[in-house]
Amino acid sequence: MKLMSVNVGMPTQVEINGNQVNTGIYKTPQTGKVWLGKTNLTGDGQADLTVHGGEFQAAYSYPVEHYSYWEKTLGKSSLSYGMFGENFTVSGMLEDEIYVGDTFAIGEAIVEATMPRIPCFKFGHKIGQPDILEKFLVSGRSGFYHRVIQEGFVQAGDQIQRLSHDPNSITIRRALGLQKLEEGDMEAIEHALEIKHLPPLLRQVYQQRLRLLSACSAN
């Protein structure tokens, strides 16, 4: 596993459907070492802190392996790193191989995989296809967020080492299915709720789904 690129960008205003919208999705690859703090990278920022950023979304990784798929799907060539708003463009870290709660050493830092990324309309605008959001989710190529366990410098070219793994956890792809794709039954959701390192947001969503499924089964 390898860190291919470190990408940062501060929020900026763009026009979407005639409205000025603040967004932090535009990221630029960095050269040299970049400091990864508890809530973000130096030089990076989130526009809407009610849905982005915070402890469990301090940094966002996206697998470089997906770039060729999207180039073909979007009819574009040579998409630049950071195109998906990711802080870390990574290699060898696919969503069906990374588990919620897995920890990794990247450069001097230690991070934990927390949850899949759910795109918003700003992503559709950047890509130039407002209707891509559903396709992005269904593809399972969501990428995933991190919580920072240990702060430190990171840079492109760093090797990534998995430090810990909970075999009772679920993959990022499975987490996405339970969260947004209506996959899984009550048993699967109950299992997910037992995960020690399950982020509060996922716990809330899964509990809500469980209540709905319980109500349906009772009728």
Q: Is residue 132 domain-resident? A: yes
Q: 66: domain range?
A: 2-182
The pLDDT tens digits for 88-127 are 999 999 999 999 999 999 999 999 999 999 988 888 888 8
H runs (alpha helix) in 23-120: 67-74
Closest CA to 37 of 124, 151, 121: 151
Exposure string of 84-110, with b = 16+ CB inside 10 Å and e = fewer, is bbbbbbbeebbbeebbbbbbbbbbebb
Classified as helix, coil or strand, 47 is coil
Report if residue 95 sits inside a domain: yes
Residue 139 domain flag? yes
In-domain check, residue 154: yes
Count: domains in the chain: 1
Choice among 58-67, 72-81, 163-172 with the minimum mean pLDDT: 72-81
The verdict on residue 217 lying in a domain is: no
Please give the pLDDT value at position 126.
86
Is 190 domain-assigned? no
Predicted pLDDT at 164: 97
Average pLDDT (30-46) is: 94
The β-bridge relationship of strands 152-154 and 34-36 is antiparallel
Query: Which CATH number does the domain housing residue 161 bear?
Result: 2.40.33.20
Mean pLDDT rounded to a whole number for the chain: 93
Q: Which amino acid is at 165?
A: H
Residue predicted with more confidence, 84 or 52: 84
State the residue for tokens 């050493």.
105
pTM of the full structure: 0.94
pLDDT tens, residue by residue, 125-181 = 888 888 889 999 999 999 999 999 999 999 999 999 999 999 999 999 999 999 999
Question: Residue 115 falls within a domain, yes or no?
Answer: yes
Residue 50: the pLDDT is: 57
What tokens were used for 183? Answer: 């996959």
Helix axes 67-74, 132-139, angle to 10 degrees: 150
Is 218 inside a domain boundary?
A: no
